[in-house]
Structure 1
Amino acid sequence: MITVEEVLDTHQKKEFLDFPARLYQYDKNYIRPLDKDIENIFNPEKNKFYKDGKCARFLFKNDSKTVGKVAVFINNLYEQSQPTGGIGFFDCINDQETANFIFDYCKNWLQEKGIEAMDGPINFGERDKFWGLVIEGFIEPLYGMNYNFPYYKDLFENYGFKVYFEQLCFSRPIFAEVSRVFTVMHAKHSKNPEISAKPMTKDKLEKFAKDFTEIYNKAWASHGEGKCMEEAKVLKMFKMMKPIINEHISWFVYENEKPVAMWMNLPDTNQWFKYLNGKFGIWEKLKFIWIKRFKKNEKMIGLVFGVVPEWQKKGLEGYMIWEGTQHLRKHTDFKVTEMQWIGDFNPKMIKIAENLDTTVTRKLATYRYFFDRNKEFERHPML
């Protein structure tokens, strides 16, 4: 018989973090997330979404042995056509009855609060972390990315979840042949004395935060679900990233010193964090500094790519990509770059990714389940 424990005390919180590590202990691709990253999500003082939502975590046990865990939540900022809750941080043994028990428990918890559907696995926060179920490409996860066994797909779909949207991750080898279009556009724009490219450096974060904000708001604010960003928040984000910023891999393009394009990348910190077993205390921080200095990191993550409207469709991205690629090939150890996920509902961004000579290396799925089983299901609307 399965029993349920709400995660409230220190021991239960530890078990919530340790259960997946035991479950995946023989999976060579599993990388344990930092405990602090998970716990901060469930800390009302750290997570702003508690102001407009509710969240609870549960452990599921059989004969005192943990067989599953989940978080269930309501985020009132998550606007949908019907009241929709979320489940996330789901882990479970390979048993459909156990999974069904967990899903039923979440459904009942949400129904009691007036919710009509649930999405999962998603985050009680922004979409940039811990969002979606891996359905293709069971390789080492990027920092902040979910990872799961292939059988999880069956657990969700056998219960009745349907794919609301797919999340595509695009990748390319750093030393792969670059499209001739890129080199031709690079040659063209290199002849223009008004155009220049500069790498982002740590000593000028204020300048690059201002330039980033200007480009981002022009390129993405009116694009799909884009939101305007504030310079102060961008600068705060850059300062937080400063310890891991690599000064050779993020590039800005200027027209007479006016920012017109950017290509933002970071090292995949999971390539270092995988040696820390989820911990980040004083000893682990010292170990991290040592690993970061002496252990080659061969994977970088593409965060944001943008060109202001007046320079779009003029090949400026080719100039920027080839200028940056030539440089980072000489000055870094990176061998592959991977873009964070792009929703299949966003064909414009998918086209941009494809034009960068990338291939899809993994897919995740965001599932939806209607409590009214007669309600017609519709996928995420196209942008």
Structure 2
Amino acid sequence: MIIAEEVQNESQKKEFLEFPARLYQHDKNYIRPRNIDIEDVFNPEKNKFFKNGECVQFLFKNKQNETVGKVAVFVNETYEQKQPTGGFGFFDCINDQETANFIFDHCKNWLQQRGMEAMDGPINFGERDKFWGLVIEGFVEPLYGMNYNFPYYKDLFENYGFKIYFEQLCFSRSIFAEVSRVFTVMHTKHSKNPEISARPMTKDKLGKFAKDFTEIYNRAWAAHGEGKCMEESKVLKMFKTMKPIINEHISWFVYENEKPIAMWMNLPDTNQWFKYLNGKFGLWEKIKFLWIKKFKKNEKMVGLVFGVVPEWQRKGLEGYMIWEGTQHLRKHTDFKVTEMQWIGDFNPKMIKIAENLDTTVTRKLATYRYLFDQNKEFERHPML
């Protein structure tokens, strides 16, 4: 017999955080997320999605009162789909189909009571940049903010009847891998143009780079796929938040007579430091983090955004920028691998860009969907 408990008191909130740590304690690839990053998702004062949605956390106990699973289930009015669709995330479960089915049924019933006709998971009660998707290939250390799970989770989902709504592809390449000849040829070509220059992003000029980032991003991506315009003030706020972890050798901007025309934004993978903190980030952990950051080599960086303004696309400018930046960071950093955040399989243009950067797919996640009316035709995410 399994009992569902709604998470309400401090003891239950703690157990929601501690259960995965026990479940994955022998998995060498598991990196415990920071408690604060998970707690903020469920804090109405920190998560804007509570303004247009509802989210509840649950623990699942066996007859010995042992935790055997957990989940968060939610509805979000801004999550517009073909049919009313709810979501669930932060799913963890022992390797038992009956237990998983009980959790999935519980989510289904909760969502049906709120008028939903389908459920997606595991997803976040928030943006897609964190805690989104189930790992189905490439069970290696997760990047910061990325989900991680046992391989058996895929069977738990699919045996219940979930189908893949879309796959999330993660691309990676070695910093010291051979660079495409096309890149080096384009680098030689554009290097001869005195109007073209490349420079790394520095902490002392965050205002300038925020302005340049906003201009490039909005021109390159605003009308591309699901791109949204960004405001300079919000970009600057984001840059200031990232300032403690910005590496001044790995984010690059290209200019034509001082006019920003391209960017390649990267950050160190902070999970390579956070994995030593066991999910905590109090005063002592912050001191420890600074010590680790100073003395522990971080060999993995994460590609955040890559963009070229329309009039410079398909002219090899990305080759110039990538090779200019790569030569520099090989000399001045310890990074050995760069990995891009996931790209949906419904976005062939972005996938083509990733492939053109000499990357390979190193892991896949999946966003699953379950239609409550199983007689209804299942449709995958529409192509962009």
Q: TM-score, normalised by structure 1?
A: 1.00
Aligned to 1:24: 24
Aligned to 2:185: 184
Which amino acid in the other structure matches residue 304 of structure 1? V
Which amino acid in the other structure matches residue 157 of structure 1? E
Q: CA deviation at 1:231?
A: 0.5
Aligned to 1:295: 296
Q: Does 1:59 align with 2:56?
A: no
Q: CA deviation at 1:210?
A: 0.4
Aligned to 2:269: 268
Q: Does 1:238 align with 2:239?
A: yes
Aligned to 1:203: 204
Q: TM-score, normalised by structure 2?
A: 1.00
Q: CA deviation at 1:229?
A: 0.4
Distance 2:193 2:50 in 1: 51
Aligned to 2:258: 257
Residue pairs, 1:4-23, within 5 angstroms: 4-23=4-23
Q: Which runs of 5+ in 1 are unaligned?
A: none
Q: Which moved more, 1:3-12 or 1:138-147?
A: 3-12
Secondary structure at 2:341 match in 1? strand
Aligned to 2:78: 77
Aligned to 1:345: 346
Which amino acid in the other structure matches residue 22 of structure 1? R
Distance 1:190 1:37 in 2: 43
Distance 1:209 1:236 in 2: 9
Q: CA deviation at 1:236?
A: 0.4
Secondary structure at 1:88 match in 2? strand
Residue by residue over 1:279-338, the C-alpha shift from the partner in whole angstroms, topping out at 9 and shown as x without a partner, is 000000000000000000000000000000000000000000000000000000000000
Residue by residue over 1:43-83, the C-alpha shift from the partner in whole angstroms, topping out at 9 and shown as x without a partner, is 00000000000000000000200000000001111110110
Q: Does 1:45 align with 2:45?
A: yes
Distance 2:80 2:230 in 1: 20
Secondary structure at 1:288 match in 2? helix
Q: CA deviation at 1:32?
A: 0.1
Distance 1:220 1:375 in 2: 35
Q: CA deviation at 1:239?
A: 0.3
Aligned to 1:248: 249
- Taking every aligned residue pair, what percent have the same amino acid on both sides? 87
Distance 1:330 1:186 in 2: 18
Q: CA deviation at 1:5?
A: 0.7
Q: CA deviation at 1:194?
A: 0.5
Which amino acid in the other structure matches residue 305 of structure 1? F
Secondary structure at 1:119 match in 2? strand
Q: CA deviation at 1:4?
A: 1.0
Q: CA deviation at 1:114?
A: 0.4
Residue by residue over 1:3-24, the C-alpha shift from the partner in whole angstroms, topping out at 9 and shown as x without a partner, is 1110111000000000000000
Which amino acid in the other structure matches residue 35 of structure 1? N
Aligned to 1:376: 377
Aligned to 1:36: 36
Structure 1 segments, 4+ long, off by >3 Å, are: none
Q: CA deviation at 1:188?
A: 0.1
Secondary structure at 2:95 match in 1? coil
Distance 1:235 1:83 in 2: 36
Aligned to 1:212: 213
RMSD (CA atoms): 0.3
Which amino acid in the other structure matches residue 52 of structure 1? N
Q: CA deviation at 1:382?
A: 0.5
Distance 2:377 2:214 in 1: 40
Residue by residue over 1:149-186, the C-alpha shift from the partner in whole angstroms, topping out at 9 and shown as x without a partner, is 00000000000000000000000000000000000000
Number of aligned pairs? 383
Q: CA deviation at 1:111?
A: 0.2
Q: Which runs of 5+ in 2 are unaligned?
A: none
Which amino acid in the other structure matches residue 46 of structure 1? K
Q: CA deviation at 1:378?
A: 0.5
Q: Does 1:175 align with 2:156?
A: no
